[in-house]
């Protein structure tokens, strides 16, 4: 029979079952059967299971138990050549955190309420639960999905006030577990977020509260969305994992714990994971899925090494293919989110590869496995065929040197096997954590990282790694050799140079690392001199811009009452203030995002910084657009007179409403899918085209203003009507002087000619009187347009707009042309980056320069 040795059964405690027999029995085996493992599954010694068997009894110990370990335990044995079995049922008590509320909180409209169903769901562990609602009655049972039981309560009338509904679970264990669902009533006059017309699942929610819905079919988890205090929906936060990938992870954890036969289950799990990551199905589509897949790899490798499972070459090839595919994923912000969800995920990934290399079946000849991002070389070194180095088939070339004398001593006792892995794109998975030996400067990890494992543990082995430097590097001393230390940063891992010495020769970097570890990860970190130079230049230019813009705003405000005399001066002075203000806020957000990236980043702060940078840099461009349109209107359409109030409305609509719409639409399109920002820059994503919502309007505005500048040059160089009349008057006066010098005979002819000209003038006046009123009005409006340009003060005001618009539009357009060129011309990117940074800074400095160098006249910056 089986008896319980533990005094109590609770989550996290140790559970012991004792099979005791008065007769001697043989072949004692333990099995479990529950809702998760429908068939009897054998238990083995593992991380959570230990089995001790003697002739008359057998003890099963379960450590750190969870509800998943509840069910029927079966002990099989042989007595007198017959199979016998006894069983014992273990039920774990339900806890409040084991209950899933659907929804966790709900808002109900006091008017027009159509009803709502509340659900409390638990994993179906086979217990018979009785569930009571307060307030309410006994609920009905609904089977949801495959593993869950959901108990429901239907509400048909709106509560008079906010109410907490409690569901209480009573199972086979006497302990009672309960959970609450909060119902918030939206009264008349309360602010609330309306139901989303694009996704009706988001119901009305009271301002200041969160709404929560389940992930789509096939995904496990919830999606949360906040309604801010002003009644505006925030963007959803997804925490969804593929059910199949999550189920595989749970199976791997059970296998590691001792449930199942590792030799049989590990190859099946690796094959399944290869199908999930490389098959046609979209099983791995979020950062949570990638995290679950890496955790499954890590758990499988631990199960293999703890149970001494020999991994065949075919299984190792599948394992490397899965790891290579994970490194190939380039979903937007994927690695940023993964590091945020699990800071130790990089160490788990590398340890899984190391563990599998340790249990790889012995090789009698050299082996090579090549995947897109991982190359495995296994060298079998015999005393008669020792080589001084080996070369990995990667670019740039990698050679590994080792001392022949040391190898000869090692191979005297047998062959020496050396397994080497060259891993590409691993730097994005390993956190940018640097130990004390690398403090004091910025670093950048190279993509290619080496891993070596020996089949013996030997102290004092010096392994020298040699790698050709990049061809476009001008200096050879910009690399260091480091090791990945799993113990740094509270077990999350970090880079350390304490056990490595770096040598630089010609275009090579040689690393000599002495260690006693089986794993050495070596990468090459360029010193931050060059990168720090660019970063310092960028920060200096932004700081200079902020100081210049602040000075400009002060000058604008002080000179306002002295400068603003006409409608034109009012418009361009107000535009200049808003351009400087937008640039100032955007530059402050830039510096703030730089601080965010230099510390531990959070997605919300990075998204907020990207949104405000997008909004205010775009707003500055749209205020430039208004400057150009206003100048065009004054030069070409001067007869269109606008009132001051109408101009202010147009200015605000162009300057702020249009950029706000663009920024909000961009956020709504890209943020739900996690593709809004690039976490490395805290700005719009380049890979999926989100950056185009910023660069396209800016470039279009620049080209439009260039057209306005060309029109302005043509109009200002064109002679006015007064200049033409003056030239005509001077010519006629000169002719009269010449004619007065002639004789009397000529005077009589002139008098007769004068009479004829007067008669012709009268005829022309009669013809003009017959012209239509519309043509006369059109002529008068054209004359007024010319007069507007000829006016002294207005003309000076227009020139005050035209000059900075000409200079800054050219600089602005040139800056963005260089930014585009940098994305396609990698060879001269450094030079273009330098010029672009200077021009970008010069735009702001020009504002202050104009005001400090001019006396009394306003200007309107871009």
Quick: pLDDT tens for 351-364: 899 889 888 888 77
Higher-pLDDT residue of 172, 766 = 172
Q: Are residues 549 and 638 in the same domain?
A: yes
Both 481 and 558 in one domain: the answer is no
pLDDT of res. 409: 62
Q: How far apart are CA 560 and CA 585, in angstroms?
A: 21
CA dihedral sign of residues 240, 241, 243, 246 = negative
Does 621 reside within a domain?
yes
CATH number at residue 101: 2.60.40.10
Regarding whether 139 and 102 lie in a shared domain, the answer is yes
Instruction: State the pLDDT at residue 294.
Output: 93
Mean pLDDT of 321-335: 83
Q: Where are the alpha helices (DSSP H) in 602-720?
A: 603-636, 644-652, 658-670, 692-717
Single out the residue in 57, 90, 123 at which a domain terminates.
90
193/777: higher pLDDT: 193
* CATH number (domain holding residue 440): 2.60.220.50
So what's the pLDDT on residue 529? Answer: 45
pLDDT at 767: 53
Given a contact cutoff of 8 angstroms between Cβ atoms, the answer to whether 587 and 544 are in contact is no
Q: Is residue 300 part of a domain?
A: no
Domain housing 494: 391-402+417-527
Q: Is residue 669 in a domain?
A: yes
Pair of tokens at residue 851: 């005001």
Q: Which of 25-29, 302-306, 435-439, 645-649 has the lowest mean pLDDT?
A: 435-439
Is 226 found in the same domain as 78?
no
Of 213-217, 463-467, 612-616, the poorest mean pLDDT is in 463-467
**What pLDDT sits at residue 823?**
43
Please give the share of the chain, as a percent, with pLDDT higher than 70.
65
Asked if residue 753 belongs to a domain, the reply is no
Q: Are residues 138 and 221 in the same domain?
A: yes
2 pLDDT more than 80: yes
- Of the ranges 191-195, 427-431, 723-727, 848-852, which one carries the lowest mean pLDDT score? 848-852
Looking at the structure of the chain, the number of domains it has is 4
115 and 209 together in one domain: yes
CB 630 within 8 A of CB 801: yes
Question: Which of the listed residues 235, 262, 284 is the one where a domain comes to its end?
Answer: 235
pLDDT of residue 857 exceeding 50, the answer is no
- In tens, the pLDDT along 450-501 reads 676 655 444 445 555 555 444 444 444 456 777 788 888 888 888 787 777 7
Least confident stretch, 132-146, 256-270, 495-509, 707-721: 707-721
The reply to whether 131 and 74 lie within a common domain is no
596 and 648: one domain? yes
**Sole residue written with tokens 């890979």:** 687
Same domain, 582 and 708: yes
| Structure confidence at residue 268 as a pLDDT band (50, 70, 90) | very high
Whether 432 is in a domain gets the answer yes
Q: What is the pLDDT of residues 774-833, one digit of tens each?
A: 455 445 444 444 444 344 455 555 555 555 555 555 545 555 554 444 444 444 444 434
Q: How confident is the model at residue 768 (pLDDT cuts 50, 70, 90)?
A: low
Strands (E) located in 403-547:
416-423, 449-454, 461-468, 481-485, 494-496, 500-505, 508-515, 521-524
Peptide bond into 103 cis (omega under 30): yes
Q: Select from 292, 310, 285, 222 the least CA-distant residue to 253.
A: 292
Residues 132 and 140 sit within 8 Å (Cβ to Cβ): no
Whether the predicted pLDDT of 855 surpasses 80: no
Q: What is the CATH number of the domain that holds 657?
A: 1.20.1070.10
Model confidence at 58, pLDDT cuts 50, 70, 90, reads very high
pLDDT of 298 reads 94
* CA triple 400-403-405, angle to 5 deg: 155
Same domain? 699 vs 600? yes
pLDDT digit string, tens, across residues 478-492: 567 777 888 888 888
**Residue 318 pLDDT more than 90?**
yes
Residue 699 or residue 726, greater confidence: 699
| pLDDT tier for residue 621 given thresholds of 50, 70 and 90 | confident
Choose the final residue of a domain: 90, 120, 146.
90
755 within some domain: no
Classify residue 510: in a domain, yes or no.
Answer: yes
* pLDDT confidence bin for 399, thresholds 50/70/90: low
641 and 555 inside one domain: yes
Q: pLDDT value at position 822?
A: 44
Q: According to the model, what pLDDT value does residue 286 have?
A: 84
Does 860 fall in a domain?
no
List C-alpha distances in Å: 107 to 112, 158, 204, 569.
13, 10, 6, 52
Give the Cα separation of 342 and 493 in Å (integer).
12
Q: In 128-149, which positions are buried (b, 16+ CB within 10 angstroms) versus exposed (e)? A: ebebbbeeeeebeeeeeeebeb
Q: What share of the chain is helix, strand, coil (3-state, %, to 5)?
A: 45, 25, 30
pLDDT at 30 over 70: yes
Question: Are 553 and 498 found together in one domain?
Answer: no
């Amino acid at each position: 029979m089986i008896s319980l040795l533990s005094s109590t059964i609770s989550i996290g405690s140790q559970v012991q079952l004792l099979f005791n027999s008065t007769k001697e029995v043989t072949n004692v085996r333990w099995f479990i059967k529950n809702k998760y493992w429908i068939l009897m599954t054998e238990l083995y010694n593992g991380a959570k299971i230990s089995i001790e068997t003697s002739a008359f009894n057998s003890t099963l110990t379960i450590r750190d138990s969870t509800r998943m370990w509840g069910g029927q335990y079966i002990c099989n044995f042989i007595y007198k050549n017959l199979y016998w079995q006894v069983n014992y049922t273990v039920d774990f008590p339900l806890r409040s955190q084991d209950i899933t509320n659907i929804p966790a909180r709900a808002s109900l409209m006091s008017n027009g309420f159509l009803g709502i169903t509340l659900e409390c769901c638990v994993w179906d562990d086979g217990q018979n639960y009785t569930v009571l609602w307060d307030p309410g009655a006994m609920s009905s049972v609904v089977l949801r999905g495959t593993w869950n039981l959901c108990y429901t309560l239907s509400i048909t009338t709106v509560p008079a006030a906010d109410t907490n509904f409690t569901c209480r679970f009573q199972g086979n264990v006497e302990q009672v577990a309960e959970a609450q669902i909060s119902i918030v009533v939206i009264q008349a006059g309360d602010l609330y977020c309306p139901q989303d017309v694009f996704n009706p699942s988001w119901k009305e929610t009271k301002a200041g509260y969160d709404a929560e819905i389940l992930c789509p079919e096939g995904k496990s988890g919830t999606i949360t969305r906040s309604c801010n205090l002003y009644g505006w929906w925030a963007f959803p936060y997804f925490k969804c994992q593929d059910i199949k990938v999550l189920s595989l992870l749970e199976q791997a954890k059970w296998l590691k714990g001792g449930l199942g036969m590792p030799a049989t289950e590990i190859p099946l799990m690796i094959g399944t994971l290869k199908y999930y990551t490389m098959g046609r199905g979209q099983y791995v589509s979020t950062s949570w899925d990638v995290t679950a897949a890496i955790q499954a790899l890590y758990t499988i490798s631990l199960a293999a090494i703890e149970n001494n499972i020999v991994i065949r070459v075919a299984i190792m090839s599948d394992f490397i293919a899965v790891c290579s595919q994970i490194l190939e994923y380039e979903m937007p912000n994927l690695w940023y989110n993964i590091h945020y969800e699990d800071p130790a995920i990089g160490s788990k990934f590398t340890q899984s590869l190391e563990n599998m290399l340790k249990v790889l079946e012995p090789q009698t000849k050299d082996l090579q496995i090549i995947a897109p991002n991982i190359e495995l070389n296994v060298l079998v070194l015999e005393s008669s065929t020792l080589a001084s180095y080996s070369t990995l088939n990667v670019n740039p070339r990698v050679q590994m040197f080792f001392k022949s004398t040391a190898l000869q001593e090692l191979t005297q006792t047998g062959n020496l096997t050396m397994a080497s892995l060259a891993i590409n794109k691993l730097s994005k998975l390993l956190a940018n954590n640097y130990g004390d030996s690398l403090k004091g400067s910025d670093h950048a990890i190279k993509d290619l990282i080496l891993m070596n494992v020996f089949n013996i543990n030997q102290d004092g082995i010096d392994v020298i790694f040699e790698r050709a430097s990049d061809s476009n590097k001008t200096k050879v001393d910009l690399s260091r050799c480091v090791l990945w230390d799993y113990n740094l940063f509270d077990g999350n891992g970090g880079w350390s140079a304490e056990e490595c010495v770096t040598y630089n020769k010609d275009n090579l970097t040689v690393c000599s690392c002495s260690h006693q570890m089986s794993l050495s990860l070596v990468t090459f970190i360029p010193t931050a001199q060059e990168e720090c130079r660019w970063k310092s230049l960028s920060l200096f230019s932004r700081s200079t811009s902020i100081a210049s813009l602040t000075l400009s705003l002060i000058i604008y405000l002080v000179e306002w009452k002295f400068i603003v005399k006409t409608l034109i001066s009012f418009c361009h002075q107000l535009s200049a203030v808003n351009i400087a203000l937008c640039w100032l806020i955007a530059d402050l957000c830039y510096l703030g995002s730089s601080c965010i990236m230099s510390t531990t980043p959070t997605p919300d702060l990075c998204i907020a910084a990207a949104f405000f940078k997008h909004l205010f840099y775009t707003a500055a461009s749209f205020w430039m657009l208004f400057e150009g349109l206003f100048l065009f209107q004054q030069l070409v359409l001067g007869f269109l007179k606008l009132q001051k109030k109408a101009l202010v409305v147009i200015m605000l609509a162009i300057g702020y409403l249009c950029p706000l719409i663009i920024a909000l639409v961009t956020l709504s399109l890209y943020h739900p899918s996690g593709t809004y920002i690039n976490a490395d820059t805290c700005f719009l994503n380049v890979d999926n085209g989100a950056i185009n919502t910023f660069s396209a309007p800016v470039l279009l505005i620049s080209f439009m203003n260039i057209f306005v500048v060309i029109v302005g040059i043509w109009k200002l160089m064109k002679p006015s009507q007064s200049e033409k009349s003056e030239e005509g008057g001077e010519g006629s006066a000169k002719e009269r002087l010449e004619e007065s010098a002639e004789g009397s005979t000529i005077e009589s002819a002139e008098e007769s000619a004068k009479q004829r000209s007067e008669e012709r003038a009268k005829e022309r006046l009669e013809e003009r009187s017959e012209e239509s009123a519309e043509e006369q009005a059109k002529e008068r409006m054209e004359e007024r347009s010319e007069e507007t340009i000829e006016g002294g003060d207005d003309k000076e005001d227009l020139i005050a707009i035209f000059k900075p618009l000409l200079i800054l539009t050219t600089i602005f357009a040139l800056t963005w042309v260089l930014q585009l060129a940098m994305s396609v011309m990698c060879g001269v990117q450094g030079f273009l980056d330098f010029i672009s940074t200077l021009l970008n800074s010069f735009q702001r400095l020009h504002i202050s320069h104009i005001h400090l160098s001019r006396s009394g006249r306003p200007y309107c910056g871009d």
